[in-house]
Structures are given as structure tokens and as C-alpha cells.
Structure 1
Amino acid sequence: MMRRKSDIKDRKEISGRILVAHPAQQHSYRLAGALEKTGMLSKYATTVYYRKFSFTALAAKCLRGDFRVKAMNRRCGDIPDKKVIQFCEIEGLLKLVALNTRFLKRQYRTIKYHTADRFARKVAGYVVRCNRKTVDPVDAVITYDDTSPLLFEILARKSPDTIRIMDMSAANILYMRHIYEEDILRAPAFAQRLREERKICWDPFTIRRTKRELRRAQYFLVPSEFVGRSLEYSGVRKEQIFYCPYGVDTEAFSPKEYEELVPGSRPLEFIYVGGVKELKGISYLLNAFAKIPREQAFLTVVGKYDPDGKDTAPFAEFVNFTGPVLHSEVPVLLRRADVFILPSLGEGMALSAIEAASCGLPLILSENSGMREIIEEGKNGFVVPIQSTEALIGKIRFFIRHPEQIRPMGERAREMAERYTWQEYSARVRQCCINILRREQENASKNEIQ
């Protein structure tokens, strides 16, 4: 419910009461933490969360190794426990078990959407009750793509004054489907992999959900112009879109030490982070390095892969596959490398790329990486077309011929990353929310006058 103009102020101007809801996690901790720091967070609603007396804390006691660490990390120090509300926690835990257990993995999708819809009903009910009682009222709800349709539909009916905002972590799948269909024709050897990775783009059920949430969302937070364009493709108006790029921990991803390089002094190491996924353009990258002599340069692929995969087996002799690594290990691998490369078919905003920039690596990124607008061509990196092995080869050979450019371009990449910290993200997301609340105030005032 919108409050009167005199009621909505921050420390100086506006203090909207915003509930952030996510049945999983993504970067919702960052968003909720940012709003909490400026007094705008009403509640943070989720399923799995590690706090005293929660089922998550109980489950963590039964786990070992990395799984226990992951369970204990399902919390955010910037969000007070009293601001956290949990719904469907057991279903959320079951969903994680299904994701990590082979015999239950087939049921993951069913569990995921059942949990998302049940969670949506609970959150909507909570918001409606708060606003009816005017106790801790909620001015706006921010939730995430692929989790939102039912929540927004209920709010539109039962609490129409509550502003509905969707945080788009990735490009609209209706837009991406056309890109993927072209890729299937261009890279047939990897077509089956892509269909498995992004089967949701051809799934009528998911497509219907996407159309429902796009129809009911009033505003969108997007991390890049690419995501904004993907929304406009489906009829979203520009004035509904607010640009809010993500950040990087510049201390954890500290800059590397450079060495003086001349052509031919040693093979250059190019690094890709994200696992063997065709949605990230891996086929074009592997084919590019198949044409680069190993004594000149080699590729390190960080992330999950299948050593027996028929599509990747031919490339094993000239590519280093690390397999899965903890996120805490990634900075060491980045600082060891020379150049970061990501030919993604579509990213919301490539966090791995901005982490690499923070470590002082020049970047070679696709035009759909969600980073195009912050790359200064030839200064901190290069932007290449998607689905172009030849374009990748050209930029790889540039660094082979001009290794002395790695240091100055890497230093400029670090300077760029310092403008995209999580602290800067907090300031941007707060301002976006204030602007949305102001706009709704103005609209409400106009309606009252009419």
C-alpha cells in the first residue's frame, strides 16, 4: 500500500518499506542488505536460511565438508535475523537435495516450481495481511525472474497499491530462445548440450510463466542494457526499466602481480570461468584454441565438465579443464592467468568477468555478456560478436603479438572494476527504489487530482 507523500522518506527524503522475496538465493542477499543499510528493508523472505532454530541449521549439523559449509553460508550478516521470514523451508531443503542427488534430480523441476508457487502464496498472504492491518505495511515487493508470476498476480488482485518490482538476473528467455535456435544451427555438435542446458526456453509451461510475470510486473531492475533490450523485445516499456549493474568484492579479487612479457617469451594463459556450457559459447572458444599453437597460448576452463563428453573430448589435449572449484579458489586462478575470455550467448551481467577485471585481467567478452557498455574497446578489453570463432582468434592473436599490452589494459580493467563494487551497487539499487517510489507517488497524486 502506498503511504502518503509525507510518510515516505529516507533519512533525508524517502524511506519506502520494501520486502525482498526469493525462494532460493541468487544475489538477493546483496539487494536486501543494501536496502537494510538505508532503512528501506521491511522483510527478507526466503526458504532456506541458516539461523538459530531453523531446519537449515539442524540439517547443517548432519552434513560434512563442502555441503556443510554451503549450508552455514546460507545467511547474510547485513540482514538482521529479525528481518528474515522463512516460508516453505522444508520444501526448499528438499529442492537442494534433489539438485545434488542423482536419483532425485529428475524431480528437481517439479519440486522447484511447486516450492516457488507455494512460497509465492505465503509471501502474498503476508503482504496482504500487513497492509490490511497497517502494521509494518509493505510499499513494494521485489522478487526475481522465474519465481514471480503467482506472487504478482495475487498482489495485483488483493493489494493493488503494493508496487511489484522484478529483479531480472538474466535476459528474458523469450528473447534468448531466438539466439539459441540460431546457435543450434551454427554449432550442431553442441546442440544437444544447449538444449539440455536451456530446455526451459522451449518448454510451454515455463514460457507461460514468463509471459505471466512480465505482464504483472510494474517495474524491472536490470544489470545491463542487454537485459533491458531483451525485455523491450517482449513489449516492456523503457520507462519501466531501471539500470542497476552488479558489483564485485575488490578485496577478495585483488589485483595480480604482472611480469614483463615480450612476444614468444612464454605461452599466454587465457582463462574462462563458468563450466562447459554452450549457453556461454564454449564451442566457439574451444574451436578457437584448436587453431592456436599451444606454445603460443592455452586455455584454462574453470568449472564443471564431463570428462567423457563426446563434444569436448577432441579438445582435451590443448585445454586445461579444472573441474568444479570453490568460489574462494577462483581469485587465485584468475591472478595466475593473463587474459579473461567469455564468448557468452547471453548473460545478465557476467560476474565472472568483473571479478577477472578486479584481478587486473584484460577482457575479451561477447556483445551479449552484459558488460558491453563498460568495456572501453582496446583500453581495458575487447567486445566480439557472439557465435564467431574467427573474432575470438583475432583477439587472442592480438595478445600473442602484443603481450606488453596485458599490463596496461589489465590495470585499466581494475580501475573499471573499482567503479562497480558492491558498495556502489548498494547506492544504485537504493536510488532505483527511491525513483520508483517517487514515480508511484506522482502517479497516485495525479489520480487523486483527476
Structure 2
Amino acid sequence: MKIVLSHPTGNANVRAVLTALVKANALAEFNTTLATNPDAGWLKLLPGSVRSELLRRTFPAPQEQIQTHPLREIARMAFPKLGLNQLVRHEQGWASIDAVYQDFDRLTAQRLTKLAASQSVNAVYAYEDGALETFRQAKKLGLTCVYDLPIAYWETGRKLMLEEAERMPAWAPTLGGGIQDSEAKLERKTRELELADIVVGPGLFVMDSIPAWAADKQTIMAPFGSPVLPAAASQPKTNESTNRRPLRVLFAGSMGQRKGLGDLFEAVKLLNNPDLELVVMGSLLSPIEFYRSQYAGFTYEAGRPHDQVLALMRSCDVFCLPSIVEGRALVMQEAMSQGLPLIITPNTGGADLIQEGKTGFLVPIRSPKAIAEKLSWFLDNRDQIPEMGKLAQAHAATYTWDGYGTTVVDSINDFYTKLVRKPQIAANA
């Protein structure tokens, strides 16, 4: 089996699949926009900030198996720094993220005919918003189409967010781009799923969002891996001083109602307990004054380097993410790795992370009352937090990126093997 893998920018889950493909000798080619050879001498000539940014685009595959399509991605990165924000405007700009994805998809599709002939390619593996032209060309060549859906299918996500805009109108501006996507963009998403033979997703929430008309498609559910941390960062929490200070509850992520921040604010206001401190770390989606108007008492922490994020997590006691729409928020496993039990909704994609009362608690979406009840439980049972933190840490460690990549690649191989055997079985019948 040989697979062409494509993703415009790359992330942890892409790298895990890429690693597994290389390990299985199943990679035909990896297509992306930018890829940096970490051993290149010219990197040393660049300013530190530029060098660091480029080194984020390194990939675990031989250089000869990586194909880049860099033009629009370089423009997307550069234009805002030059004050050319109109050129990266959502869906409108020549170098918007949407334009980058579509241009990348088209260029990847153009390579398939050559790759199918030269490397006997069997399948293409592409991600939401960057798969349509690749899949169309793959179908012409008789290739299997693997579609990675990292977040809930658009119909589910849009429905939930429109409901949120009505339920909590003050928070509507924080709901993000999905609610503003054009009909053309949504149509692309639908066509991508129609062409897919296999759908890969990180958890039950995503898999359950697949519409009924696509229910006959092969699916692979593979939970993301937990971060691999330095030994010092993965020591169990002791919380020896937790009873001598307020309970520190951490929220981390983009500060919007898609992640349920408005519900968490309401829950803390319901409790109105001076022994609880809400710590919010993330990117502002509205002016800070808006958040203060919703709940003035939270502690705001800006984004920071990863090691400092981990240190902040270790200074807290509980992690709460009452999301309305996610794929699978990696920050949950990151918090668990630092010894924090969770309060999360099923829509975070992390229901399997919860061993009720041991690694944390699952609460319904849109329920400040349920969140408040669990926060109150932690306030009343602070002596149990260290042990719950250890259990959370141990459970998070069972999810590895190696296991994620292997599950995905082995499942694709099993599907393809059965597909190849079917005509032979029919011929012998």
C-alpha cells in the first residue's frame, strides 16, 4: 500500500500519521506548503524569530518524499506584517487561509497522475477544506480517498453555534469563522465528504456528527496522543498548599462561547465563592472589557511559551472546558499530564478521558448549574484532588501519538486489503 498524504501546514496529528506511514514504508509522498530541513546551514543566517517559525515546519519524512507548494502560504504569513490585511481576509483575500487551502489542494491534485504511475499509489489522505480537487482526481485514477475530519462535521457545528448566538447573543461575536462561512465553502465540505471512502476522526463527538447519508462510509476513530513531556514537567502534583489558598480553576483556549467560556463565567457567578479563583488563559476574541463585563473576577493570563503554559497548569488545581463544538481539544490531555482533573462536556471530544469521579467529571453542554455543582464538589473535597490528578496523569499517558498513527495507518491498510480481496472473492464464487 502506498499513500499520498497532504496537509497545508502540518500539526501533531499530521506528523503522527506521517511517522506511521514512513515506518510502514507506505508513504508515496507528503504534500505541504512549507517544509524546512532542520540541518540546512542557511537557517543560521536568519533572525531567531524567523528561524523558530520555520523550524515549526519540519516533518519526520525523508526530504525526497516531501513536496512543497509555498507561494500563497508565504504570502499569508507575510502580508499581515506588511499591513496588507485585506489580502488575508476570510474567504476574500488572495492569501486567506481558504485561498491557501484551495490552491494547495489544486496543486496536490495535479501531482496524482504522475505519482499513481511512478509509485503505484493506492490511496490519498487529505484533511477537511483541502481535499476536494485531490479527491476528484483520485476518483478518476481509482484511488481510495481517506478524509480526516478533525472537528465536528459542519452541519452539526453550524447548528450548535447558531443556537448559541441566539441563546447568548452577547457572546455571538466570539463564535468564530465557522458561523460566517459562505455557502460555497460549506458546499465544498459536503462534496469532500461525499467523495470520501474512509473518514478518520478523533472521538465520538466527531464521528456522531457524520450525517446519515454518509453512514455507510468506513470510519476510523483514533484519539489523539498526549504530549510527550520532559521528566520534570510530568511529575505528579502534590497540591500540599491547596487548602491554604483559593481553588484555582483553569480554562485554556480561544476565549469564546464555542468553548463554553460564557457558561463557565455563569457557573462561577452562581457559586459566588471567594475560595475559587478562575484563571483564563488564551487568545482574546473580543476586547478584554467585554469579558470583564460578563464576569469581572477572573484572572487573565496571556499566551506564552509552552514550558510556561505547563508551569501555569501545575499552579492550578482543576481544568474546565465546557465546549459546545470541538474535534478533540488537545489541551485537555495536556492539563491531565500536569496533574489536573477535568470538568468537560462530551462535545470536547474527550468523553473517553473521564473516569467519573476519578479523572474528573463529564457535564452536559449549556449547563452552568452542572458546572457549578462540580466546582462545588472540588471545593468540598480538596483533599481528593492530588489523587485524582495522579489518576488523570496516568490515564492521559495511555494515549500516545505512536498509537494514534499506527491505528490510523493499520486501519487504512485493513480496509484496502479487504477492498482488493472483494473482486477476487466474487470471481471465485
Give the alignment's TM-score, normalised by structure 1.
0.87
Question: Aligned residue for 2:189?
Answer: 210
Q: Secondary structure in 1 aligned to 2:213?
A: coil
Give the fraction of aligned pairs with identical amino acids, expressed as a percent. 24
Separation in 2, partners of 1:311, 1:302: 15
2:24 pairs, out of 34, 38, 42, with 38
Deviation at residue 402 of structure 1 after TM alignment: 0.5
Mean Cα deviation higher: 176-185 or 22-31:
22-31
Mean Cα deviation higher: 122-131 or 181-190:
122-131
1:28 pairs, out of 14, 36, 43, with 14
Cα distance, 1:261–1:329 mapped onto 2, change above 3 Å? closer
Separation in 1, partners of 2:416, 2:329: 29
1:298 pairs, out of 274, 277, 280, with 277
Separation in 1, partners of 2:238, 2:112: 53
Q: Secondary structure in 2 aligned to 1:396?
A: helix
1:228 pairs, out of 187, 190, 207, with 207
Separation in 2, partners of 1:100, 1:230: 38
Deviation at residue 237 of structure 1 after TM alignment: 1.8
Aligned-partner residue type, residue 242 of structure 1: I
Q: What stretches of structure 1 move > 4 A for 4+ residues in a row?
A: 57-64, 98-102, 446-450
Aligned-partner residue type, residue 152 of structure 1: F
Deviation at residue 317 of structure 1 after TM alignment: 3.7
Aligned 8 A contact 1:302 1:325 in 2: no
2:218 pairs, out of 230, 234, 240, with 240
Question: Aligned residue for 2:121?
Answer: 138
Aligned 8 A contact 1:255 1:359 in 2: yes
Cα distance, 1:323–1:260 mapped onto 2, change above 3 Å? closer
Is residue 193 of structure 1 aligned with residue 174 of structure 2? yes
Q: Secondary structure in 2 aligned to 1:48?
A: coil
Separation in 1, partners of 2:42, 2:155: 40
Cα distance, 1:104–1:234 mapped onto 2, change above 3 Å? farther
Cα distance, 1:64–1:53 mapped onto 2, change above 3 Å? closer
- Output aligned runs, 1:318-357, within 5 Å: 318-357=297-336
Aligned 8 A contact 1:60 1:71 in 2: no
Is residue 128 of structure 1 aligned with residue 110 of structure 2? no
Aligned-partner residue type, residue 238 of structure 2: Y
Q: Secondary structure in 2 aligned to 1:259?
A: coil
Question: Aligned residue for 1:10?
Answer: none
1:82 pairs, out of 64, 67, 74, with 64
Separation in 1, partners of 2:52, 2:258: 29
Is residue 430 of structure 1 aligned with residue 416 of structure 2? no
Which runs of 5 or more residues in structure 1 are unaligned?
A: 1-15
Separation in 2, partners of 1:228, 1:374: 16
Deviation at residue 444 of structure 1 after TM alignment: 3.9
2:154 pairs, out of 165, 173, 185, with 173
Separation in 2, partners of 1:419, 1:152: 34
Deviation at residue 286 of structure 1 after TM alignment: 1.7
Question: Aligned residue for 1:402?
Answer: 381
1:50 pairs, out of 28, 36, 44, with 36
How many positions carry a matched residue from both structures? 422
Separation in 1, partners of 2:372, 2:331: 21
- Output aligned runs, 1:341-380, within 5 Å: 341-380=320-359
Question: Aligned residue for 2:98?
Answer: 113
1:249 pairs, out of 227, 233, 239, with 227
Deviation at residue 411 of structure 1 after TM alignment: 1.3
Q: Secondary structure in 2 aligned to 1:299?
A: strand
Separation in 1, partners of 2:295, 2:45: 39
Separation in 1, partners of 2:116, 2:367: 53
Separation in 1, partners of 2:302, 2:19: 32
Cα distance, 1:154–1:447 mapped onto 2, change above 3 Å? farther
Aligned-partner residue type, residue 240 of structure 1: Q
Question: Aligned residue for 2:250?
Answer: 271
Aligned 8 A contact 1:198 1:279 in 2: no
Q: Secondary structure in 2 aligned to 1:146?
A: coil
Give the alignment's TM-score, normalised by structure 2.
0.91
